[in-house]
Chains A and B, each alone.
Chain A
């Protein structure tokens, strides 16, 4: 009885033969798919890390409540109590006028000497509210700010809503545009694989005819092309992952050197193992899709 190995061996042999016989076609195909997959990988990396950074910022979402100078100690106690009763607030810090001045001096550094010449401390006392990231979306924060502004003794409420809202909208847009972009790149990849296999089928039509004549079934004939599609997809996605890792690594170093104060670079992460495997699988599936399209062109006769 023939074993499975006896059936698979000639298929693998033909696959290797196909690839070795047309290295240029395969190389060009792998290069094009690699570029498409690289763009996909960079898009996913950018989106994934932007989402992570924004989530981190969201989890560190603070609201500063600036107080009137004439707020009495009883009024302050009442206001603190009101803030702590809010569901979104998980922690509260009171920053006195003196503390605020001290912090400001630290920020200004050598340029802070002029503060000593001022007749009185111009900075207001404030309450720093740390919000629960799970419940505090932008709409909640804005609602909260309106509530706080209505309280006695509150002069101003600051929470950087504008840029955060812009960032959220941008991310949402990137997500939807990215979907279109990813679909387009996937289609390009499938088209490239399909065209390569079609070229390959055309170039090897005489070999295919010989295979039919010596009794090969259609399945036997198309299997090497399926493996070729898988090979192209897997190799191209591996190359794309390698290149995107290189790009990611240098971008992280560059970002740390350019804007160290943002502390973004340490938050950036490359794909984890499951994402890497998913990406490889995606490349392989695109290769199979390309094969499925091209195999329709392979006439039975």
Chain B
């Protein structure tokens, strides 16, 4: 096992995400993303950062095929998104985890059901679901809330449920879009610790944030976007 200077897995050679010459516009010729290329290796934790309107969310959505690019190539865990059928993309998403600022939990599903849903969709046999859900509930520390509905939970607890749902399928990559955006500083720290601990177990994490304080505190590689271009590609100090 090779550990990096933060005590986490060192990235292996194979890129988990490879983006080449990616461009996207909503209203041609105003390009949101201009000819962007980068790689994320297995086990890396990277931030996508930049000011509002820089194209972070667009890039983020392109990475899990929620949007189609105008040109360029995106390969996620070996799958070329431009060539993949809808079913292949669906199968890929089962190997990915998603965490959003607004949690995206199903309001009338209990915590347990929200987490179990990801397993049910992938056709996990019922007898394994209980065990797997409880395992991730312990990782994020919300075992006691299992029968509650999302709206009966605090923001931080809802985000933990979302992380548990993202984790339950043992994902290869976790995509997190401003996961601390709606949370106060203390809870945001807890969430960041959870994400880093997940990364510490070998899961690649791509996190969108514009919170410079977090970037300073939890130092990792940053892809800095500005006006649709990848302007910085370095450790942020």
Contact = CB atoms under 8 A, between A and B. Distances in A.
A300 interface: yes
B213 interface: no
Interface string B100-117: 000011101100010001
Interface stretch (B87-95, B199-207, B227-235): B87-95
A173 interface: no
Contacts of B92: 215
Interface in B195-227: none
Interface residues of B, number: 31
Interface residues of A, number: 26
Contact of B86 (A3, A17, A209, A300): A300
A114 interface: no
Contacts of A20: 108
B117 to A, nearest CB: 6
Contact of A6 (B106, B117, B125): B125
A213 interface: yes
Given A20-B108, A210-B106, A7 B165 contact: no
Contact of B93 (A5, A6, A207, A214): A214
Interface centre among B64, B66, B108, B123 (most CB of A within 10 A): B123
A211 B121 CA distance: 8
A213 B98 contact: yes
A102 interface: no
A301 interface: yes
B70 interface: no
Contact of A17 (B90, B95, B108, B165): B108
Nearest to B114: A210
Given A2-B123, A214-B93, A300-B86, A10 B117 contact: yes
B123 A212 contact: no
Contact of B64 (A21, A213, A217): A213
22 contacts: A2-B125, A7-B123, A10-B120, A17-B106, A17-B108, A20-B108, A21-B108, A206-B104, A207-B106, A210-B104, A212-B90, A213-B66, A213-B93, A214-B93, A215-B90, A215-B91, A215-B94, A215-B118, A215-B122, A217-B86, A218-B90, A301-B67
Interface of B: 64, 66-68, 86-87, 90-96, 98, 104-106, 108-109, 113, 117-118, 120-126, 165, 169
